[in-house]
Amino acid sequence: MHVAHSSASAGALLRHVRTGRARSRAELVALTGASRNTVSARVDQLIAANLLAEGGRGWSTGGRPPTLLRFNSRAGCVLAVDLGVTSVDVAVTDLSAEILATIGHPIDIAEGPGPVLAEVDRLAQLVLAEADLEPADVCAVGVGVPGPVEHSSGRPSHPPIMPGWHDFPIPSAFGRYECPVYVDNDVNVMALGEMGAAGSAQDVLVVKVGTGIGCGVIVDGRVYRGAQGSAGDIGHIHVSTPDGRVVTCRCGQENCLEALAGGGALLRDAVAAGLPVGTTREVVERAAQGDGAAIELVREAGRTLGTVLAALVNFFNPHRIVITGGVAQAGVPLLAGIRESVYRRSMPLAARALEITVSAAPELSGRVGAALMAIEGFLDEESVEQTLAR
C-alpha cells in the first residue's frame, strides 16, 4: 500500500509540530516517510535556530520513550494591525498568535494613508514598549484593511470606503522593522482569525457584518481569494425586498445586501423607527439588552442576510458559517434571523449538517487573523529555509 507522504523540508517539519500533528522525531518520520537521519538533522537545525525546543518524555510504545518536541512560540514576535473605518487596533503577539500587548484608537480612514499609518506607527511603538520588546524582535507584520487589496504587493485596489488609499504601498510604512509585511482585506484576515492557530481542513464562510458586509471564503482550511482577490465580496449582491422598497447603496447600485442589512442600514432603520440612537453600536447594545424594537430590526437584518447566505450555501456547501464583526455582537436575534432564512431556502442536502454560529470573540478575530497571516508568511517553507541558511 502506498502512503502519500508530505514534504520533509525543515519548514514542513516545523509546521507539523506547530499544528500538533507530530510531537516527536519518530512521529515526523512516520508522517513524512523521510529517513530518521534526514529528520533528525533538520530538527537539529530548527532547534539551533531556536524555533523548536526539546523537553519531556512521551509515552513509550515499547523501548525508550521519545523526547517530545515543541514549537518555541517566543522565538520572535509579530505586529498585528486591524485597520477599520473608524478605529484601529494594534497588537504584538508571539509566534502562536498569543496577544502580548494591544492598544486601540479612533481614526478616520478617509484622512488617507499618511496620517492614519503615522498613528499606526505610534501605536506599534507603544505596544512593543508595553511588551518589553524592541523593533528588532519583530519578525513580520500583518495588516487587515477595510477594502480590496492586491495581496502580493500590499496595495489597496480602488477601495470604496478608503479615499486616497488606491495603490498606496502599505508595507512601506513599516520600513523601520526591516521584515516582511503582509496585507489583506479585513474579511480574509478575520477568516484566518476564526480558523485559529491550529487551523482546520474544513470549508467555511466567515461573514463580517460591520459598517459593510463581506465574506471570507475558506476552502480546505485556506483563504480562497479568487482570480483578482475579490472572492467573497457579497455586500453588493442584489436583494429584493418583500415590501418593494428601493434603497441606493454607496456603490451607486440599488438594493445591495449591505444597503439593506449592514451596520449603516441598521442605524438608518433604527432612527426611522424612532429609536434614540446615534451609532450602530448603540442599536446593537439595545438589542443585546432586550429592547424589543432593536431586536426586531437586528432580526430582520439577519433574515435579509440569510437570503443571500442561503444561495451561497446551495452553491458552496460549506461545513459551517461563522458570523463576526460589530453587528455580530448582537448575538441571538441576528443569528435567529439568519438561520430562519437559510434553513428555509437552502437545499436539504447542503443544509443538513450545516453549522451557523456567531464568533466567540468577534472583536478579536481581526487582530488574531492579522497575526496569523504574518506568522504563516514568516514560517512558510521558503522563509524557514532562508532563516536557517542565515
pLDDT per position as a tens digit, 182-219: 999 999 999 999 988 666 778 999 999 988 899 999 99
293: three-class secondary structure by DSSP = helix
Mean pLDDT of 256-278: 95
- 144: β partners: 82, 184
10-71: what CATH class? mainly alpha
Query: What grid cell was written down for 360?
Result: 466567540
Confidence (pTM): 0.87
Mean pLDDT of 147-166: 90
Return phi, psi of residue 366, to 5°.
Answer: -65, -40
The DSSP letter of residue 96 is T
pLDDT at residue 247, rounded to an integer:
94
Mean pLDDT of 166-183: 96
Confidence label for 3 from pLDDT (cuts 50, 70 and 90): very low
Is 93 in contact with 99 (CB distance < 8 Å)? yes
pLDDT at residue 65, rounded to an integer:
73
Query: What grid cell was written down for 15?
Result: 509546521
**2 pLDDT above the threshold of 60:** no
Is 260 in contact with 324 (CB distance < 8 Å)? no
pLDDT at residue 60, rounded to an integer:
62
Domain span(s) for CATH 1.10.10.10 in the chain = 10-71
Mean pLDDT of 80-106: 95
Mean pLDDT of 294-320: 95
Q: What's the distance, Cα to Cα, between the start and end of the chain in Å?
A: 40
**238 pLDDT above the threshold of 50:** yes
Mean pLDDT of 149-175: 92
Confidence label for 70 from pLDDT (cuts 50, 70 and 90): very high
Rounded CA separation 306/321 (Å) = 11
**338 pLDDT above the threshold of 90:** yes
pLDDT at residue 1, rounded to an integer:
44
Nearest Cα to 155, choosing from 144, 146, 167? 167
Helix 332-345 to helix 292-316 angle (10° resolution) is: 40
**58 pLDDT above the threshold of 70:** no
**Residue whose entry in the numeric block shows the C-alpha cell 510604512:** 173
Nearest Cα to 224, choosing from 202, 209, 239, 242? 202
What's the mean pLDDT when you consider all of the chain? 91
The domain covering 77-194+365-389 belongs, at the CATH homologous superfamily level, to ATPase, nucleotide binding domain (3.30.420.40)
Is 372 in contact with 197 (CB distance < 8 Å)? yes
CATH of domain 198-360: 3.30.420.40
Rounded CA separation 63/61 (Å) = 7
**316 pLDDT above the threshold of 70:** yes
Domain span(s) for CATH 3.30.420.40 in the chain = 77-194+365-389, 198-360
The DSSP-derived string for 105-161 is: EE--GGG-HHHHHHHHHHHHHHHHHHTT--GGGEEEEEEEESS-EETTTTEE-S-TT
Mean pLDDT of 138-159: 92
Is 227 or 177 the better-scoring residue by pLDDT?
A: 177
pLDDT at residue 62, rounded to an integer:
66
Q: Residue 94 contacts by C-beta under 8 Å, 6 or more apart in sequence?
A: 73, 74, 76, 77, 100
